[in-house]
Amino acid sequence: MRKIYIFSIVVLAFLAVLFIALTIVNQTPSTQEQTNETSGIVTPANTLNLNYNGKTLKAVWIETVADKISLIPNFNEKETAFDVTDKYKCDELTNGGFYSLENAPIGLFVTDDKRVGEYQENLLFNGFFKISKTNIASISTDSQTQNTRIALQSGPILFQNNYPTSLKINSDKESRRIVVALSNGKIFFIAFYDPKSVYQGPNLGDLPSLLSDFAKAKNIKIDDALNLDGGSASSFHTTGISLPELSPSGSFFCIKK
């Protein structure tokens, strides 16, 4: 009789542990992550899938405000994104604009009152992302830098005054793309890429349409948006996602929380 009693206690204890384990497994993931039910892979909440030419592209973003951003030149230093993240204690990071074979920015480049690059008239790099000394962000065709803490020339402009632009790009090709966009006082850095080949992504000419799809999925309104450097020189690092560069990035936006 005593053996049966002990056996019953063991069985009840096992069933209790099993019940607790199943309860934990079935709990809903936190707001910071979502779980893929088929694979068990934890996916960061700041990602979404977009349909593009019959395949799936992934969009991942950093949402921040102007006073959390610094612009770090890397034209001669050639430091990696990981090195810069550690050196400047960045919580999140993405690359900046384009640079030349002479290791100089293509166009205007101002950071913390230091002027590294001068304005260039360029049909492709036709926009300027700026943050004023009072931390007001803007994207426009205006190259003036009075009272400016950060100014970066890049392009093309993808959204202007709430509307997508129409682009005709010669010799367009699919590549990973990095975008900076403004929405109701918030700043979004967005990476569009092919999850099956992370240095691939959309054609440049299709970015305005993809941004429209992104805004609809996020239920936001994009005011203005600008293309940044992409492809093998692009880098993007946020919680749960790391997209390293193959060739050096010319500059970085360092974001602190």
Q: Which pTM was predicted? A: 0.84
Angle at 61 between CA 215 and CA 64, to 5 degrees: 95
Amino acid at 13: A
Contact in structure between 59 and 176 (CB atoms under 8 Å): no
93 in Cβ contact with 255 (< 8 Å): yes
What mean pLDDT is predicted for residues 207-214? 98
92-148 pLDDT per residue, tens: 999 999 999 999 999 999 999 899 999 999 999 999 999 999 999 999 999 999 999
Handedness of CA 174, 176, 180, 186 (dihedral sign): positive
Residue 29 has pLDDT above 60, yes or no: no
Residue 66's contacts (CB-CB under 8 Å, 6 or more residues apart) are 131, 135, 136, 137, 187
pLDDT of 33 strictly over 70:
no
Total residue length of the chain: 257
- Angle CA(41)–CA(233)–CA(113) in degrees, nearest 5? 110
